[in-house]
Amino acid sequence: MSKKKSLGDVDVAALEGLASSFPATQASPSQDQPAKDKPIKDVTITLRIPPRIAKDLKIKAATADKTQREFILEGLKLMGVDVKDEDIADRRKS
């Protein structure tokens, strides 16, 4: 089994098991290469989480000198979600 970064108290094994039950996804060529004049827009999601988890996320992300978005996307990538490095990059720093 490959060695993965710790996600704190998150039950990674359970999440990996859950993720393996989902069908594999592949982006269509048109999604990978958008038209030159139309950049791909991010989709906004809303997630309700307990305050203690929100606080822990904020602290862990800040300690790692990352945005919460970067921190979450990196966690999703570790769980097998198709997240590219350019998806993770903090767009405010570019």
Q: What distance in Å separates the CA atoms of residue 14 and residue 19, rounded to the nearest whole number?
A: 9
Domain with 89, as residue range(s), is 47-94
| Number of domains composing the chain | 1
Q: Residue 53 corresponds to which tokens in the numbers above?
A: 């988890």
pLDDT tens for each residue of 21-48 = 777 766 555 555 555 666 678 899 999 9
**How many Cβ atoms sit within 10 Å of the Cβ of residue 73?**
19
Judge whether 75 lies within some domain.
yes
Q: Residue 55 corresponds to which tokens in the numbers above?
A: 């606080």
Between 37 and 87, where is the model more confident? 87
User: In terms of pTM, does the model score above 0.95?
Assistant: no
Q: What distance in Å separates the CA atoms of residue 83 and residue 64, rounded to the nearest whole number?
A: 19
User: Collapsing DSSP states into helix, strand and coil, what is residue 43?
Assistant: coil
Judge whether 24 lies within some domain.
no
83 — pLDDT class (breaks 50, 70, 90) = very high
